């Protein structure tokens, strides 16, 4: 198997290295064989090629079986003509990665770091399925001059159906409950989402479906997070709500995500940013990257045993409190990584 | 002074009645003279005139000195051709109410109801200034058929400037800190907001200004709410973030809001909905309506003393725990109202 590696900026390369060490250790003595190939991306690619997503990276990623991406961007490129984040939008588009999957699961060992009270969090465990290649992110026309500006949100029934499919299928392996988040009391695109959903849900009679307005959902995520199982929503709403939801866990530095298309490789990445303030200090939390790799093994390579092994090793390291400062610990990136590797045995 | 009264649906009329009792008691023996005139609006207006915002209501509101609106909408009109909420959008537009002001202030007496931990809340006290008559709510074209749908977000520099003015002026009476929330890494309209702000802020050298992406702001409102003083943002982002922020207080049933234009009357209303589940039970929390009236006295009529008197009376009632079930109490709407009236003396 070929894994394309996009090492990222600032703490990006530090946690990528940690993740690859764990993957290497876990897969040794297993039947899982893989090769990694590095491609330039983000700020690093701007420095080298004046382009956050060079052609060679698109070509390489397309041929890979999975893509690992570490956090990109940062102040160095704030005034760049084309910013690193533009590369993110382009790679999603170029590879047809129309769905983004973000688990929000509260780990009892870390929930004391949550800003939200324990009695609200309980066993919070939901997934946000965000549409990733349409909506206001890609709609045209998009225009701006000194006097006015315009953005366009578009959705086709086809685009809605394919993201619904991802979310409904996922709910079948979970609590069979889907919440569509929209703003159907105002937006035409939301009305289309509802119409398509009403038809689509007939194929999933076991799944209960409800609709939440995005403003109400933004409240409910904090006041009643256990009410959700699978949230399916448009690009912009998913961006806002998945970041909001991530803080419930109290451990941003540990959360992985997956972006997927129809065929072609999935992309796995931590949800956090490139943390310029702690770059080079050796204290970045590698767990989000390691869990992104675990997610890759499970979803792209069907390597459940390997994935379970990594998950258990991570869990043990957290329980033993070998954790970085973001989780209240004093361990370095290397110490956490070494401990997880040790726990694999 | 003439106050236009839009009584609302479900618990709407119950809390309006409570609010007007308090206004009546507070203004007796004062120099503040007023007259109230009822107009049909929302669900009630649909029942009577097949129209959530009849012409007579627009005309009457335009002539008034201030407007009090109670919560509208509910299941009864879910399948109406034109829903009550449409009336909200129309009245904002018809009266040019381009700004919506929502205070988020944590009351130490109620903060134990917050889903967020006390040590995070501290002295949280910020205001969200939401643009209310442009953006994706009013942009055209807006189209939908079975196969696709489209919404348009527009802003002009003029629209951005006038909402900035509201927010910057407000910050001058507060901690002189403004946060612009946008999605400037993706949206053309957000880029316009930033450009206009960079120019505009030169007239307010004492005000510190920063920019937050809406996804990051959705996190920060929960993790670090004390970082904000005045948030200024577009219509849709303001809708989502102000609802999110409201749950910090733990007391939705007590929060007022104001919508204002250039000239013409301001509109004051509770931020919560019409609560069909508790309508008619006499247990709706009247405090949001009473505080909306307090805000009206302060902002529209410059009746600071009257407003302070009401604020103090409400505070005392809360301290004495004469509160409705939403705040953990057992008092009825009438008991809370009577107690506040008593405390006015
Ligand atoms: C960087 C930005 C364009 C991006 C987005 O909004 O999609 C990011 O916030 C994310 O969620 O991956
Ligand atoms: C009812 C709805 C159209 C409205 C809005 O989104 O503006 C409401 O949520 C609000 O915030 O007043």
Q: Which residue of A has its CA nearest to B140?
A: A152
Distance CA B71, CA A248 (A): 30
B257 in any annotated domain:
yes
Q: Do A241 and B219 touch (CB under 8 A)?
A: no
DSSP B201-269: GGG-TTSEEEEEEHHHHHHHHHH-GGG-SEEEE-HHHHHHHHHHHHGGGS-GGG-EEEEE-SSS-EEEE
Q: Find the B217 Cα to ligand 2 centroid distance in Å.
A: 20
What is the model's pTM?
0.97
Contact between chains at B117 and A120 (C-beta distance less than 8 A)? no
| Interface touch B136/A186, C-beta < 8 Å | yes
**CA within 13 Å, CB half, B331:** 20
- Between residues 227 and 286 of chain B, which touch chain A (CB distance below 8 Å)? 236, 239-244, 246-247
User: Among B147, B151, B157, whose Cβ lies nearest the Cβ of A146?
Assistant: B157
**Whose structure tokens read 């900026």?**
A9
Q: A128: closest CA among A27, A219, A39, A257?
A: A257
Assign A279 a pLDDT band (cuts: 50, 70, 90). very high
Terminal Cα-to-Cα distance of chain B (whole angstroms): 23
Below-50 pLDDT ranges, chain B: none
Structural domain ending residue among the three candidates B236, B263, B290: B263
Within this chain, do residues B91 and B56 fall inside the same structural domain, yes or no? yes
State which residues form the domain around A308: 1-95+264-345
Residues B122 and B73 grouped into a single domain: no
**Whether residues B4 and B55 fall in one domain:** yes
Please give the Cα distance from B112 to B100 (Å, whole number): 27
- For residue B299, is it within any domain? yes
> Do B273 and B286 fall into the same domain?
yes
Average pLDDT over residues A295-307: 97
CA of B21 to nearest chain A CA: how many angstroms apart? 31
Say if residue B85 is preceded by a cis peptide, omega within 30 of 0: no
Asked if A147's CB is within 8 angstroms of B219's CB, the reply is no
Residue B101 is assigned to a structural domain of this protein: no
Contact state of A143 with B185 under an 8 Å Cβ cutoff: no
Number of domains in chain B: 2
User: Would the CB atoms of A216 and B115 count as touching at under 8 Å?
Assistant: no
Is position A183 annotated as part of the catalytic site? yes
* Residue A130 confidence (pLDDT) above 90: yes
For residue A108, give every residue at least 6 positions away whose Cβ sits within 8 Å of its Cβ, in sequence order, or none.
none
Provide the pLDDT for residue A336: 98
* E-strand stretches of A253-293: 256-260, 266-270
Mean pLDDT over the full length of chain A = 97
The pLDDT value given to residue A78: 85
Interface test with B, best of A52, A224, A240 (most B CBs within 10 A): A240
pLDDT value of residue B184: 95
A137 in active site: yes
Q: Which residues form ligand 1's pocket by a CB distance below 6 Å? A: A 85, 88-89, 239; B 185-186, 215
Does residue A187 sit in the same domain as residue A137?
A: yes
Give just the sign of the alpha carbon dihedral B73, B76, B79, B82.
negative
B37/B133 same-domain check: no
Residue B100 lies in a domain: no
- A301 and A225 both lie in a single domain: no
Are B135 and B163 found together in one domain? Answer: yes
B294/B288 Cα distance (integer angstroms): 10
End-to-end CA distance of chain A: 23
Ligand 2 test: best mutation among B78, B88, B101, most atoms within 8 Å of CB? B88
CB B240 within 8 A of CB B137: no
Same domain membership, residue A198 and residue A110: yes
Q: Which residue has the tokens 């695109």?
A: A189
d(CA B260, CA B242): 16
Helices B55-63/B84-94 angle, 10° precision:
40
Ligand 1 centre to CA of A271 (Å) is 9
Instruction: Name the residue at shortest CA distance from atom 2 of ligand 2.
Output: B85
Q: What pLDDT is stored for residue B80 in this prediction?
A: 85
In the listed set A228, A261, A294, which residue is the last one of a domain according to the structure?
Answer: A261
Place of tokens 């956490």: A336
Same domain, B238 and B137: yes
Residue B138 lies in a domain: yes
d(CA A47, CA A184) in angstroms, rounded, equals 43
In this predicted structure, the answer to whether residue A94 has a pLDDT above a threshold of 90 is yes
Q: What pLDDT score was predicted for residue B109?
A: 87
Q: Specify if B284 maps to a domain.
A: yes
Both A181 and A241 in one domain: the answer is yes
The fraction of chain A above a pLDDT of 70, given in percent, is 100
| CATH number, residue B19 | 3.40.718.10
pLDDT above 90 (res A109): no
Q: List pLDDT tens digits, range A203-252.
A: 999 999 999 999 999 999 999 999 999 999 999 999 999 999 999 999 99
Q: Looking at chain A from residue 146 to 165, which residues have their Cβ under 8 Å from any Cβ of chain B?
A: 146-158
State whether B255 and B126 are in the same domain: yes
Q: What are phi and psi of A4, to 5 degrees?
A: -80, 135
pLDDT tens digit sequence for B275-300: 999 999 999 999 999 999 999 999 99
CA-to-CA dists, residue B32 to B28, B73, B287, angstroms: 8, 32, 21
Give the residue from B229, B246, B263 where a domain finishes: B263
Contacts of B199 in chain A (CB under 8 A): none
**CA nearest to B36, candidates B76, B1, B69, B84:** B1
> Does B94 contact chain A (CB < 8 Å)?
no
Instruction: Determine the Cα angle at A143 with ends A142 and A148, to 5°.
Output: 130
Sequence-ordered list of residues with C-beta below 8 angstroms from that of B119, at least 6 positions apart, any chain: none
């Amino acid at each position: 198997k070929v894994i394309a590696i996009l090492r990222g900026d600032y703490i990006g390369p530090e946690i990528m290295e940690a993740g690859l060490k764990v993957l290497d250790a876990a897969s040794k003595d297993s039947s899982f064989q893989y090769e990694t190939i590095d491609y330039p991306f983000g700020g690093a690619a701007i420095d080298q090629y004046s382009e956050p997503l060079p052609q060679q990276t698109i070509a390489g990623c397309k041929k890979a079986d999975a893509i690992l991406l570490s956090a990109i961007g940062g102040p160095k490129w704030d005034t760049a003509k084309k910013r690193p984040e533009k590369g993110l939008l382009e790679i999603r588009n170029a590879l047809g990665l129309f769905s983004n999957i973000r688990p929000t699961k509260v780990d009892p060992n870390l929930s004391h770091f949550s800003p939200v009270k324990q009695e609200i969090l309980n066993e919070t465990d939901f997934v946000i399925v965000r549409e990733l290649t349409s909506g206001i992110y890609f709609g045209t026309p998009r225009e701006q001059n000194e006097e006015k500006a315009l953005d366009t949100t578009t959705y086709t029934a086809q685009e809605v159906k394919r993201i619904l499919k991802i979310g409904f299928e996922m709910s079948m392996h979970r609590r069979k409950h889907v919440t569509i988040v929209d703003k159907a009391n105002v937006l035409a695109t939301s009305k289309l989402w509802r119409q398509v959903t009403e038809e689509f849900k007939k194929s999933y009679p076991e799944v209960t479906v409800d609709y939440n307005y995005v403003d109400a959902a933004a409240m409910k995520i904090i006041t009643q997070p256990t009410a959700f199982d699978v949230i399916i929503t448009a690009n912009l709403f998913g961006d806002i709500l998945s970041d909001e939801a991530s803080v419930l866990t109290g451990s941003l530095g540990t959360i992985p995500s997956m972006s997927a298309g129809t065929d072609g490789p999935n992309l796995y990445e931590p949800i956090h940013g490139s943390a310029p303030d702690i770059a080079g200090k050796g204290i970045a939390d590698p767990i989000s990257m390691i869990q992104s790799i675990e997610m890759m093994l499970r979803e792209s390579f069907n390597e459940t045993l390997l994935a379970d092994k990594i998950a258990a090793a991570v869990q043990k390291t957290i329980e033993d409190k070998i954790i970085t400062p973001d989780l209240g610990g004093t361990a370095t990136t290397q110490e956490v990584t070494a401990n997880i590797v040790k726990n694999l045995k």
